[in-house]
Chain A
Amino acid sequence: MRYEAVIGLEVHAQLLTKTKIFCTCSTAFGAPPNTNTCPVCLGFPGALPVLNREAAIMASKAALALGCKLNPVSIFARKNYFYPDLPKGYQISQFDRPLAEHGSITIGSNGSSKQVRIKRVHMEEDAGKSIHDGFADSSRYSYIDLNRSGTPLIEIVSEPDLHSPDETHDYLTRMKVILEYLEVCDGNMEEGSLRCDANVSVRLAGESKLGIKTELKNLNSFRFLKNALEYEISRQIQVLEEGGAVVQETRLWNTAEHRTVSMRSKEEAHDYRYFPEPDLPPLVIDNAWESEIRASMPELPDAKRARFISQYGLPEYDASVLTTSRALADFFEETVSLCQSAKAASNWIMGDLLRDLKEFNRTIGESPVRPRAIADLIRLIESGEISGKMGKDVFEAMFRERKSPQEVIAERGLKQITDLGTLERIIREIVAANAKTYEQYKSGKKAALGFFVGQVMKATQGQANPQLVNELLRKILDA
């Protein structure tokens, strides 16, 4: 590879507080336009902001979970720019003394993991929403809804440590999972509660100086992020290969045309004229408060994954999948506590359950099969009452009909045939009926065994104990 891509991400995450960052208006989604508003978030002259304590706590939790150091004193600043959905004419943000700095996220898997450094985490307020289409006079007017104005955000800025779309995807996924574990952000990119911009440049492999970067916006899904990065990296390489120079600019991902498009630069006269916000005192987080915040944090994904491996003896892959959400991890642990078979629980949950949930587009919380039912199913198989193969069908019925495994087994008269006499009689009948295959087996074609196993399972409608069938077949055929 002649070129190396260098990527840094700026992620904005909406915090799940009940009220806005500087006023008492509700942050509830879906309210009629301009109803969650007050003099503060409408930017009335003289209205004064007061910081939401919970927003400070959630932001601090996120910063600590991302390995950052909290600044004991952080300062709010005004970022000035003109846009109709920013009623004050400035956004309250943080500038030269952010909430927290110097964190990291570990990406990759054990074999090849690496640290992506996080430069800073700061707090700020969201702007309102501009609606440019959909009204009769949309050709002449933009419509403004200020319900979102003042919603608390954290901005998480990485160092340019990412070198491919896959690494970037991994980094953002892990960040999303951490925020979800902390219950400080719902992580929904499509609805805009998690948003990301990417700074992208390319340079010759081995070069230490950074190339000229572009800033990509409108990356509102994981897929768009990956597609946009892939496109932009190859676009920049092509520009350089043709002897040109990359222009520093902001580019939008155009989903329909599947390419990044330059934003016209006339809107780009940005000089934010930051200065300390005189209406807010600095945020002071002393050691006692930081300890209190730390104590209220749940076990985080990396720690949980490591514990699943050591405590339950799970393979790394299983532990990774099961810890992708707190709800899924809790579901797994509840199942294990009821059946004591960690690997079996992992297999049923990762395999059949997740597949069915995906097929029916349900979350783990909406699963019709609960941990108790999976634990019972595992015990019925372990005790030999039904075979593993029958278990698969029982599970399907449990999922589709919301029934316990015992109910499904009773209703369908499923019972594993373990009686040696019965099995032997069935096997002898089948061998007699397939004399030709029997001859082939005797003349050395051992693969014919599989045929006989299939015939026996067919004859017993899958209820024969497969292990016994194998043993008996060998005994009879080799006799």
Chain B
Amino acid sequence: MIIGPKEVEYVGKLAQLAITEDEKQLFIGQLNSILEFVEQLNRLDTSNVEPTAHVVLAADQSAALRPDEPIMTFTQEQSLANGPETGAGHFKVPKVISDR
């Protein structure tokens, strides 16, 4: 797969990034070199290998699971402390939808 300007624009849009023309050229080069590097892995024959979702397949599930016991962590103030804008106990973000 070769990355061109269209792909960079598309990914940029999904990631909500405004990308300049210069940056576009830079990213095309960088993304293609990453893909070429990863492409080397395709030379291996993996037809007999189970797909690996995770390197740790915990045999002991008790280590991977948590009991259903509530613990209170944050107060409302702590919860909102990193919010750029807050009000009435909520995070505030620029209006998401326009027609309501």
**Which A residues form the contact surface with B (CB < 8 A)?**
17-19, 23-26, 28, 32-39, 42, 50-56, 73, 75, 80, 82-84, 97, 130-133, 135, 137-146, 269, 271, 273, 276, 278, 280-284, 289
Contacts and interface: CB of A to CB of B under 8 A. Distances in A.
A451 B73 CA distance: 76
The A contact surface, by secondary structure, is: loop
Given A37-B73, A281-B58, A282-B53, 19 more contacts: A18-B68, A18-B69, A19-B69, A24-B71, A33-B90, A34-B90, A34-B91, A35-B72, A51-B66, A56-B65, A73-B57, A82-B16, A141-B95, A142-B92, A142-B93, A142-B94, A142-B97, A269-B13, A282-B57
A281 B76 contact: no
Nearest to B67: A53
A152 to B, nearest CB: 10
B49 interface: no
19 contacts: A25-B73, A28-B70, A33-B90, A34-B76, A35-B74, A35-B75, A35-B76, A52-B68, A80-B14, A97-B53, A133-B100, A139-B95, A141-B94, A142-B92, A143-B88, A146-B79, A281-B57, A282-B54, A282-B57
B18 to A, nearest CB: 14
Interface of B: 10, 13-16, 53-54, 56-59, 61, 64-76, 79-80, 85, 87-97, 100
A146 B92 CA distance: 12
A54 B67 CA distance: 7
Nearest to B93: A84
B100 A75 contact: no
B77 to A, nearest CB: 9
B93 A53 contact: no
A144 B68 contact: no
A32 B91 contact: no
Contacts of A26: 70, 72
B53 A276 contact: yes
B73 A38 contact: yes
A56 B64 CA distance: 12
Contact of B54 (A23, A75, A135, A269): A75
B38 to A, nearest CB: 13
A143 B94 CA distance: 9
Given A19-B70, A32-B89, A141-B92, A278 B76 contact: no
A35 B68 contact: no
A243 B63 CA distance: 60
B56 to A, nearest CB: 5
Contacts of B53: 75, 97, 276, 282
Nearest to B97: A132
A157 to B, nearest CB: 21
A111 B56 CA distance: 52
A286 to B, nearest CB: 8
Nearest 6 Cβ contacts at the A-B interface: A38-B73, A54-B68, A143-B90, A24-B71, A53-B65, A144-B91
B68 A143 contact: no
A39 B64 contact: no
A53 B66 contact: yes
Contacts of B94: 140-142
A448 to B, nearest CB: 69
Contacts of A75: 53-54
Given A24-B70, A50-B66, A132-B100, A34 B89 contact: yes
B65 A132 contact: no
A53 B68 contact: yes
Contacts of B95: 132, 138-142
Given A140-B95, A269-B13, A281-B54, A34 B80 contact: yes
A135 B87 contact: yes
B8 to A, nearest CB: 14
A300 to B, nearest CB: 23
A284 B58 contact: yes
B88 to A, nearest CB: 6
Contact of B64 (A25, A132, A146, A281): A281
Nearest to B100: A132
Contacts of B73: 23-25, 37-39
